[in-house]
């Protein structure tokens, strides 16, 4: 079945360009468009897309709030949000990731990267450009804990190995890289990541990475 995509951007020309790129792919189907966050919510309810390609800065309701409502508690469907940003280090991207976005992509990314990003998010991989995600968190470290705060109680539910895996996820490492680092199989890593997400009530790797920073488990700039 084709991956159902909703395009959300306040610039019609950009939506048209994205539509042309995506409709050239046999496994992607653009099911609708929206020009602002409020309209996006209405379209998500009506069309039940798999992936929402979401601009951040829009009138009426921005992409951050729309993302929060689409992916938050009581959401109407399984839609995942892929945020589009004009700038490599956009201050709003951190907020979008915290709000529940599954990843982000630059608007000027090559067409093949856009297509692949949608496929990755639809498949539930959820961590796009981990090195850029980490740079964003590093850049806005001032918003994060100083390291002197008490460790959240939820972290105590993790085993030592799960904590180790969470730290590596926060460093932007893939399952294959984590497996090589810990001398275990990728299947074992996937199992650990799954346990981490379940125990901490997180939806995906992006939220896990943000949680690791916000909890003080990982310090910006640390290796």
**Half-sphere exposure of residue 160: CA atoms within 13 angstroms, side-chain side:** 1
For the chain, 223 residues long, the average pLDDT of each consecutive 10-residue run is 94 94 94 95 94 90 90 72 75 76 83 88 64 59 54 85 92 84 93 93 81 78 55
Q: From 138, 161, 183, give the residue that closes a domain.
A: 138
Query: Distance between CA 6 and CA 47 in Å, rounded?
Result: 8
For residues 88 and 116, state if they share a domain: yes
For residues 121 and 158, state if they share a domain: no
- Count how many domains the chain has: 2
In a domain, 146, yes or no: no
In a domain, 223, yes or no: no
The DSSP element (H or E) to which 85 belongs, if any, is strand 80-85
pLDDT value at residue 136:
60
For residues 33 and 108, state if they share a domain: yes
Q: Which of 17, 98, 20 has its CA nearest to residue 56?
A: 98
pLDDT value at residue 38:
94
For residues 36 and 109, state if they share a domain: yes
pLDDT value at residue 133:
59
Q: From 138, 163, 185, give the residue that closes a domain.
A: 138
For residues 40 and 116, state if they share a domain: yes
Q: From 96, 111, 138, give the residue that closes a domain.
A: 138
In a domain, 220, yes or no: no
In a domain, 222, yes or no: no
- For 24-62, give the DSSP string: TSTTEEEEEEESSHHHHHHHHHHH--SEEEEESS-SSS-
pLDDT value at residue 93:
73
For residues 45 and 98, state if they share a domain: yes
pTM over 0.75: no
pLDDT value at residue 144:
52
Query: Distance between CA 116 and CA 1 in Å, rounded?
Result: 16
For residues 21 and 84, state if they share a domain: yes
The whole domain housing 189 covers: 153-215
């Amino acid at each position: 079945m084709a991956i159902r995509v909703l395009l959300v951007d306040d610039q019609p020309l950009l939506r048209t360009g994205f539509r042309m790129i995506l409709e050239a792919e046999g496994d992607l189907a653009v099911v609708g468009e929206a020009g602002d966050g409020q309209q996006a919510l209405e379209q998500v309810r009506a069309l039940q897309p798999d992936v929402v390609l979401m601009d951040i800065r829009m009138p009426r309701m921005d992409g951050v709030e729309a993302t929060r409502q689409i992916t938050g508690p009581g959401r109407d469907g399984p839609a995942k949000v892929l945020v589009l940003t004009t700038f490599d280090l956009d201050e709003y991207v951190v907020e979008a990731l915290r709000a529940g976005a599954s990843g982000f992509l630059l608007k000027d990314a090559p067409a093949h990267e856009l297509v692949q990003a949608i496929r990755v998010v639809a498949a539930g991989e959820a961590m796009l450009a981990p090195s850029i995600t980490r740079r964003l968190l590093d850049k806005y470290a001032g918003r994060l804990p100083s390291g002197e705060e008490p460790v959240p109680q939820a972290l105590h539910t993790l085993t030592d190995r799960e904590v180790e895996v969470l730290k590596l996820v926060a460093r932007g490492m893939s399952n294959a890289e984590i497996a090589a680092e810990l001398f275990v199989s990728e299947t074992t890593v996937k199992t650990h990541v799954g346990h981490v997400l379940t125990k901490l009530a997180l939806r995906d790797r992006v939220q896990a990475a943000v949680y690791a920073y916000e909890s003080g488990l990982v310090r910006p700039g640390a290796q």
